[in-house]
Amino acid sequence: MLTKYEQEQAELNAKLDELRPMLAETLEQTQNADRFLRLVRRITEIDTLTAEIVSEFIEKIVVSETVIVTPRRFSHWKDEKRQEILIVYNYIGAMPMLETAEATTIETREKIISAT
């Protein structure tokens, strides 16, 4: 009976050793989310976007190469191009992009900007 108890105790200790890093990682993620929420609460209404505000929220922005999705069929048409942009926020990391945002082309963005 004692050997069975010792074996069970050893298995539980091994499982505990496996779970400790996961717990530490989860606690760190929770703390980072709390830090980000405190930052958001502190700056609730932004009248103008300044470099200081951007640097507080964003760690880095990664812009990939432009990829031609559909080449022009006629000389007066524009190429359909796509470019991926990854925004890495402070404390919480990169957020997944929505499918519709990924499919937005540069040409579409130009139309939106010129319409405003």
In this predicted model, what pLDDT tens digit does every residue of 51-94 receive, in sequence order? Answer: 888 888 888 988 889 888 877 777 777 888 888 888 888 888 88
Looking at the predicted structure, is the pLDDT value of residue 44 above 80? no
Using alpha carbons only, give the angle 80, 84, 90 rounded to the nearest 5 degrees: 155
Residue 101 has a pLDDT of 47
Indicate the number of domains in the chain: 2
H/E element, 61? strand 58-63
Whose CA is closest to 92, among 20, 36, 39, 10? 36
Q: Are residues 70 and 93 in the same domain?
A: yes
Q: Are residues 51 and 105 in the same domain?
A: yes
Three-class secondary structure of residue 24 per DSSP: helix
Q: Are residues 35 and 52 in the same domain?
A: no
Q: Are residues 113 and 67 in the same domain?
A: yes
Q: Are residues 26 and 80 in the same domain?
A: no
Whose CA is closest to 94, among 61, 72, 63, 67? 61
Residue 4 has a pLDDT of 86
Residue 38 has a pLDDT of 82
Q: Are residues 112 and 55 in the same domain?
A: yes
CA 74 to chain centre: 38
When pLDDT is averaged across residues 90-114 and rounded to a whole number, the result is 59
H/E element, 67? strand 67-70
Q: Which domain holds residue 70?
A: 47-116
**Global confidence as pTM:** 0.49
